[in-house]
C-alpha cells in the first residue's frame, strides 16, 4: 500500500478521499488555488501545495504543476477525484512518465471511452446495445441535419468529448437544428476544447440507469449493481438512488452483464461507471436499454452504491492501484436496503437553477440520522467559506440509507428539513419538494420529470406572518448580545408594566415590512405587523440565523432570508430599473447578438452569458433601442449592467 498520495482535486471529493486514506494509514497531500487557500480539504490533508491562481486553467487543470507537487512532497501516487483531470489520458501519461502511479484506469482505457462516438462504435463491436444515432467523424452541418432527419425527431445533439449536460441540446423540429447545433458546439468547445458532436434519437420516457463496475490489473471485473440517476434538471443529476426503483431481475441481469462486458472490452482497472439510457414507456424491459457512455473515474453519486453494498470504493481504488486484487468476488457483493443522495447546490431553483455565490454565514447539517436510517454528509465547505464563481457550486451531498425505499425517502425528507444554510441561495427547498413529489415517491421517474413539474417543485410559498414576525424579532435587537446561534437568550428591553415596542424594518424581495416588537413575560414576544400580515402575534423563538445585514428564518427545508436595512445608511440611488439588464451572476459574455443603436423587441436574445461552464441567454424584457451593450469576452460580476436601453424606449 502507498505511504503517501496526492489528491489532484478540491472540495468534497478531496475531503472524501482524505478520510479513507487517513483510516488506511496513508498520508495525503492536497493542492489548492488562490481561492482555496483556506479550504477544508487543505485543512484536512497532512500537507498542502499551492498550485496557482483561482481559474482552473491556471491551477487544477495544470498537470505539470500537480505532478511537480507530487514529486516535491514524496507522494507515490495521484488520486484525480472526479472532474478536472480525472479523465484526461494525457495527464495519466504525465503521471506515469514521472514514475508515479495514477489511481485510476490506464490511459488507453480512458482514450477508448473518452469520445462518445468512438466508444459507441467499440461497444457495438463488443455486443453492447447502443442508442440509434450518428456517431461518425464527419461534422458538416448538412450531413448532421440529414442524419437527424433519418433518425427522426426529436433528436439529441451531444458533445462527443464530455458529459454533465454540457454541449447537449434537444431538438424538436428541423428548423431548430442549426441554432441548437451552434449552441452545442460553442458550449462543447468552451468546456472540453472539442466542438465535435454526435446525434442520437431522443428517447421519449428515458430513465438514466448506470452500473458501477470495478476491475483490477489481473483481468478481474465485477459490478456493484445499479444506480438510478433519472432525476435531472438541464441534464445535471439532482437526486440519485440505489438500487433503481422498479428494477426487474431480467433487466438487472442483462444490464450488469453488458456493463462487465463493456469494461472487459477495454481491459479496465479501477472504478468506472457504465451509463445506460432505458426506455421506460412500457415499463423496464431487458431489451429496452442502450449504452450511453462510460465514466472512467469515480462518480459523484458513488456513496449510494457504498451504502447498499457495504463497500468503500475509495479504499478499493487505493488497493487496486497499489497492485492488489479486487477485495471481493462477484458472489460476495450483495445488495442491502435503499439509499438516496441529494446534491445541495448554491443555486436559485426559482430562477431556472441559476448558480449562486455568497458566503456561508450559517451552515448546519443534521446532528444524527433520522430514526431507523443511517446518514452521511459529504462536503468540502464549512461555515464562513465563500461559494466561488470559479468552481462548481456544490455545497454538500446528503446521503441516507434505509431498509426500504419508502423508509430511505422519508429519512431524506427529514434530513433536508433539518439542514440550515444562510448566506447564499440554495436548493434545499427544491430537493425536499422533489423528494415529496407523488411520481418520484412512487418510483415513476424519468429524466423529464423535473421539467414537467418544475413550476410546482420550484415554487416557494411566501413567508407566513409567523416567519416574518420571527425575522422582525431577531432584527429588532432581541438577543443582540447573545451568540449568533442563540439570538433569543437576551430579554433586553422588557419592562413589566409598560412593554417597550421597538420599530423594525425588513425587506423581503421587493417588499418593505414594518414591525413593532415588544418583550412579554416568560420569554415571549409580541410582534405587530402591517398588512397583509396578521396584525399581532405572540410567539417564542424560531430557528434562524443572523448574518451581516440579514436574517434567515428556517421553516422545514426552506430558508427565508430578509434584508435588514441600516437606518443610518444612505439609500442606494443606483437601482436596477427597466432601462437596463444586469448580469444575474458572475460570468463571461460569450456572444453578443445585438448592437448599439439597434431596435429590438421583447423576448429577443441579446447576448449569451457563460457561467459555471453553462450558457445563459439574456433577452430583451421589452421593446426598445439599445444605447449600450457589453462586449464579447468581457468578464462581469453579479449585477453588472449588460444592456442599457435608450430613454425613448419608455417615453
The residues, any chain, with a CB within 8 Å of residue 99's CB and separated by 6 or more, are none
**CA-to-CA distance for 524 and 402, rounded, in angstroms?**
39
Active site residue 196: no
Answer whether 502's CB lies under 8 Å from 517's CB: yes
**CA-to-CA distance for 417 and 366, rounded, in angstroms?**
9
* Burial zone of 112 (CB within 10 Å; 0-12 exposed, 13-18 middle, 19+ buried): buried
Answer whether 395's CB lies under 8 Å from 346's CB: yes
The residues, any chain, with a CB within 8 Å of residue 104's CB and separated by 6 or more, are 79, 80, 86, 92, 110, 270, 271, 296, 297, 317, 321
Nearest-CA neighbor of 198 among 212, 210, 184, 186?
A: 184
Answer whether 271's CB lies under 8 Å from 20's CB: no
Answer whether 375's CB lies under 8 Å from 413's CB: no
Rg of the chain's alpha carbons, rounded to an integer?
26
Catalytic pick among 10, 297, 376, 546: 297
**CA-to-CA distance for 605 and 621, rounded, in angstroms?**
10
**CA-to-CA distance for 248 and 404, rounded, in angstroms?**
16
Which contiguous run of DSSP H or E holds residue 303? helix 302-309
**CA-to-CA distance for 173 and 408, rounded, in angstroms?**
41
- The three cell numbers locating residue 188: 462543447
Nearest-CA neighbor of 363 among 350, 379, 343, 339?
A: 379
**CA-to-CA distance for 479 and 502, rounded, in angstroms?**
13
**CA-to-CA distance for 53 and 37, rounded, in angstroms?**
10
- The three cell numbers locating residue 582: 444586469
Catalytic residues: 297
Amino acid at each position: 500500500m502507498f505511504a503517501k498520495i496526492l489528491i489532484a482535486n478540491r472540495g468534497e471529493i478531496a475531503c472524501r478521499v482524505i478520510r479513507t486514506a487517513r483510516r488506511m494509514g496513508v498520508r495525503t497531500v492536497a493542492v489548492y488555488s488562490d481561492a482555496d487557500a483556506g479550504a477544508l480539504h487543505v485543512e484536512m490533508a497532512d500537507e498542502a501545495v499551492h498550485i496557482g491562481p483561482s481559474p482552473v486553467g491556471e491551477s487544477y487543470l495544470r498537470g505539470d504543476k500537480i505532478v511537480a507537487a507530487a514529486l516535491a512532497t514524496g507522494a507515490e501516487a495521484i488520486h484525480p477525484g472526479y472532474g478536472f483531470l480525472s479523465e484526461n489520458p494525457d495527464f495519466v501519461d504525465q503521471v506515469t512518465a514521472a514514475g508515479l502511479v495514477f489511481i485510476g484506469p490506464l490511459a488507453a482505457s480512458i482514450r477508448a471511452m473518452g469520445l462518445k462516438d468512438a466508444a459507441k462504435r467499440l461497444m457495438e463491436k463488443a455486443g453492447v446495445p447502443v442508442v440509434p444515432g450518428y456517431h461518425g467523424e464527419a461534422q458538416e452541418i448538412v450531413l448532421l441535419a440529414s442524419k437527424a432527419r433519418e433518425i427522426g425527431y426529436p433528436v439529441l445533439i451531444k458533445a462527443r468529448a464530455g458529459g454533465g449536460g454540457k454541449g447537449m441540446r434537444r431538438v424538436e423540429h428541423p428548423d431548430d437544428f442549426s441554432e441548437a447545433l451552434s449552441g452545442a458546439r460553442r458550449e462543447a468547445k468552451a468546456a472540453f476544447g472539442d466542438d465535435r458532436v454526435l446525434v442520437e434519437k431522443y428517447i421519449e420516457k428515458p430513465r438514466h440507469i448506470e452500473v458501477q463496475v470495478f476491475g483490477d490489473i489481473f483481468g478481474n471485473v465485477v459490478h456493484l449493481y445499479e444506480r438510478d440517476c433519472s432525476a435531472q434538471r438541464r441534464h445535471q443529476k439532482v437526486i440519485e438512488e440505489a438500487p433503481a426503483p422498479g428494477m426487474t431481475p431480467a433487466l438487472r441481469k442483462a444490464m450488469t452483464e453488458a456493463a462487465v462486458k463493456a469494461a472487459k472490452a477495454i481491459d479496465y482497472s479501477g472504478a468506472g461507471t457504465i451509463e445506460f439510457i432505458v426506455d421506460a414507456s412500457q415499463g423496464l424491459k431487458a431489451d429496452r436499454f442502450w449504452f450511453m457512455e462510460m465514466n472512467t473515474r469515480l462518480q459523484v453519486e458513488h456513496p449510494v452504491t457504498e451504502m447498499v453494498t457495504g463497500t468503500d470504493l475509495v479504499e478499493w481504488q487505493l488497493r487496486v492501484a497499489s497492485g492488489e486484487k479486487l477485495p471481493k468476488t462477484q458472489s460476495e457483493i450483495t445488495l442491502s436496503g435503499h439509499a438516496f443522495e441529494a446534491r445541495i447546490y448554491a443555486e436559485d431553483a426559482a430562477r431556472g437553477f441559476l448558480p449562486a455565490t455568497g458566503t456561508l454565514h450559517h451552515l448546519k447539517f443534521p446532528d444524527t440520522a433520522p430514526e431507523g436510517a443511517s446518514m452521511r454528509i459529504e462536503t468540502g465547505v464549512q461555515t464562513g467559506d465563500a461559494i466561488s464563481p470559479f468552481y462548481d457550486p456544490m455545497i454538500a451531498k446528503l446521503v441516507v440509507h434505509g431498509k426500504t425505499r419508502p423508509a430511505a425517502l422519508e429519512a431524506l425528507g427529514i434530513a433536508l428539513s433539518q439542514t440550515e444554510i444562510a448566506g447564499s441561495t440554495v436548493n434545499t427547498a427544491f430537493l425536499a419538494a422533489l423528494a415529496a413529489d407523488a411520481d418520484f415517491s412512487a418510483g415513476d421517474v424519468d429524466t423529464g420529470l423535473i421539467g414537467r413539474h418544475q413550476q410546482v417543485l420550484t415554487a416557494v410559498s411566501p413567508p407566513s406572518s409567523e416567519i416574518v414576525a420571527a425575522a422582525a424579532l431577531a432584527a429588532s435587537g432581541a438577543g443582540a448580545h447573545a451568540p449568533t446561534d442563540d439570538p433569543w437568550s437576551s430579554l433586553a428591553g422588557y419592562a413589566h408594566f409598560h412593554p417597550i415596542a421597538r420599530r423594525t424594518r425588513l425587506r423581503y424581495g421587493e417588499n418593505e415590512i414594518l414591525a413593532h416588537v415588544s418583550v412579554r413575560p416568560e420569554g415571549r414576544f409580541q410582534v405587530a405587523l402591517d398588512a397583509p400580515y396578521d396584525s399581532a402575534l405572540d410567539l417564542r423563538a424560531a430557528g434562524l440565523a443572523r448574518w451581516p445585514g440579514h436574517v434567515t428564518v428556517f421553516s422545514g427545508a426552506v430558508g427565508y432570508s430578509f434584508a435588514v436595512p441600516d437606518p443610518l445608511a444612505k439609500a442606494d440611488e443606483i437601482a436596477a430599473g427597466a432601462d437596463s439588464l444586469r448580469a444575474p451572476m458572475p460570468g463571461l459574455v460569450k456572444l453578443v447578438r445585438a448592437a448599439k443603436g439597434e431596435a429590438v423587441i421583447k423576448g429577443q436574445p441579446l447576448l449569451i452569458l457563460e457561467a459555471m461552464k453553462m450558457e445563459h441567454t439574456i433577452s430583451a424584457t421589452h421593446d426598445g433601442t439599445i444605447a449600450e451593450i457589453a462586449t464579447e469576452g468581457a468578464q462581469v460580476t453579479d449585477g453588472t449592467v449588460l444592456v442599457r436601453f435608450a430613454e425613448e424606449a419608455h417615453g
